[in-house]
Chain A
Amino acid sequence: MSIEVKEGRDIRKVVRDLVREYGEEKAELIPILHEVNREMGYISDEAIVELSELMNIPSSHIYSVATFYRMLSTEPHGRHVIQFCESAPCHVAGGRQVWQKLQNELGLKKGETSDDDKWTLLTTSCLGLCGVGPVMVIDNDIYGNVTPDQVPGILANYE
Chain B
Amino acid sequence: MTDDELDQRVRASILAEELDTARLEHSIRERIRRPRVARWALATAASIALVIAGGLAYRAFFQPTPLICVAAARDHNYEIVNGAPREWLSDPAAILSLVAQQGVPSTAIAALATIGYRLEGGRLCSLNKQIFLHLTYSKDDLELSVYLRPGGPQSPVDRAVHEASVGTEDLAYFQTDRLTAVFVAEHSPAEALAFARAADRVL
Q: Do the two chains bind? A: no
Binding site for B on A (CB under 8 A): none
